[in-house]
Chains A and B, each alone.
Chain A
């Protein structure tokens, strides 16, 4: 496991799309470093031959038949939209 100080908070905040203030970056970095140090102890566990718990129950092929059902009316679909026009949701231009 990598050392807890490997937390590059700028990079991770960018991945998570949260604009942290400098104060938050410092504070969270310290707090999460504590948590990660605590989590280090998981390294001790012998997990050889252990399957990860993907799902608690060995269930598979959970699906539904291809029968269309009514969806939301446009009114309900857009009732919480912050900005809309022509029945579509307005977003600022996408610039990478």
Chain B
């Protein structure tokens, strides 16, 4: 049996119910593990052990009274440091918010607390969720637990590393262009980005409003299903959240067995894809074929425009979303300035890192006078075509299989100097956000160097139950996801 801090929600909730261990013991084990390894992994910006233990004791009291709230009651869940938890820091791994404490809860925080889960720690990320390696954090880079010289991916690198290293049982991240799925692939985890609108964004620091979604990092598809069930659902505080009935995702896993028609997009298997990644994904495709699935080649003809479209829309939206960080009502305020205009310029120069500045500049430019039609409007039109590509494909197939990342985890510093190269590594994940579709990455092997490889499955809008069932069908035949790094 794995150590408690490596077990799944499925296993732990059973153990808790059977009184084989208490929530306080579990939390203490997670805290101890964090204290033991985070000095090397750097997944956490901060954590409050006392608070977690106190919540754990409350969970135990509930369970003792026969009032346990479900499988997440008593489970320590890590929070990417962009999701508001009242009374805890909310820093976005930025100097701009280094001293900011949130006075309110995100909706997902409230929902998880209602489910009895224990918010555990503030997890590192690329500053303001902008990046693919967590090297853009103003705190420090997070290290991949599978190889500490390498990146865990980003922007939710801290969330991925924490779960991979046993520092949290499950973690929440956010995904705008792949920021859950790519780190999940690089860290041997299940990472799910729900359909846009399924999970409330209220309390999520906005990066690109039309693309952002909160989702879980987990060690099994079942854990992802359980967590999704707790956080999904319409929120009157988020006008983009959808009124839809939320199925019991966990129960649905056993109801749906396929076989399915699975699409392979030829545009996703071309240049730039690492050979070992391609091979592992190919084996996964073969496995589905053996399960009786029909594998069809499909085309998503506008794929090559996805990165360009993304970097116009996401930067435009973020340039506006980040305008509020001005040092007036909260956050860092420069002491070097005189007068208000200068105050903004200095504060934001001091508070933001290079990648954030670059994206704000680019976003401001594409929205500026004379450029709106050529950039933003055109990008939104090409986005329509990108979404149409997927919806057309879904007339032929139930889901689409792709690699999650073109490479395995790369070395720290390797891509940092070349923003464009970094952007291009999002090529497989970005289209899913632009189309508003659900996507999950699951472990599908390791490279010769022992680095994890992820398979992405892209689903139809609001068909997470089906998507997770397809994912679990693969998982049932493999044990990649049960491996843990040596730390």
Residues of A within 8 A of B (CB): 1-2, 7, 9, 12-21, 24, 28, 31-32, 34-36, 38-39, 41-43, 45, 47, 50-57, 59, 62-64, 72, 76-77, 79-83, 89, 91-96
Contacts and interface: CB of A to CB of B under 8 A. Distances in A.
A93 B339 contact: yes
A45 B377 contact: no
Q: Which of B327, B330, B331, B354 has the most CB of A within 10 A?
A: B330
B321 to A, nearest CB: 12
Given A31-B420, A92-B338, A18 B382 contact: no
B374 interface: yes
B197 A57 contact: yes
Interface in B450-470: 461
A15 B319 CA distance: 10
- Chain B, interface SS category: helix
A79 B103 contact: yes
Interface string B358-391: 1011101100101100110111111111010000
Contacts of B323: 17
B258 interface: no
Contacts of B61: none
B436 A32 contact: no
3 smallest A-B Cβ distances: which pairs? A52-B380, A80-B330, A19-B345
Given A50-B384, A92-B339, A35 B420 contact: yes
Contact of A42 (B331, B378, B423): B378
A15 B155 CA distance: 27
A75 to B, nearest CB: 9
Given A12-B364, A52-B384, A93-B339, A42 B309 contact: yes
B361 A57 contact: no
Given A17-B341, A82-B327, A83-B333, A59 B357 contact: no
A45 B385 contact: yes
A81 B239 contact: no
Interface in B376-417: 377-385, 387
B343 A28 contact: no
Contacts of A36: 362
A40 B103 CA distance: 43
A35 B362 contact: yes
B345 A18 contact: yes
Q: Which of A17, A51, A59, A64 has the most CB of B within 10 A?
A: A17
Contacts of A19: 342, 345-346, 348-349
B361 A9 contact: yes
B328 A89 contact: yes
Contacts of B436: 56-57
Contact of B382 (A21, A47, A92): A47
Given A45-B305, A51-B384, A24 B354 contact: yes
Contacts of B333: 82-83
B420 A34 contact: yes
22 contacts: A12-B364, A12-B368, A16-B319, A18-B349, A18-B357, A20-B357, A28-B357, A31-B419, A32-B365, A35-B420, A42-B382, A47-B382, A53-B380, A53-B384, A56-B436, A72-B103, A76-B103, A82-B327, A82-B331, A89-B328, A92-B337, A94-B340
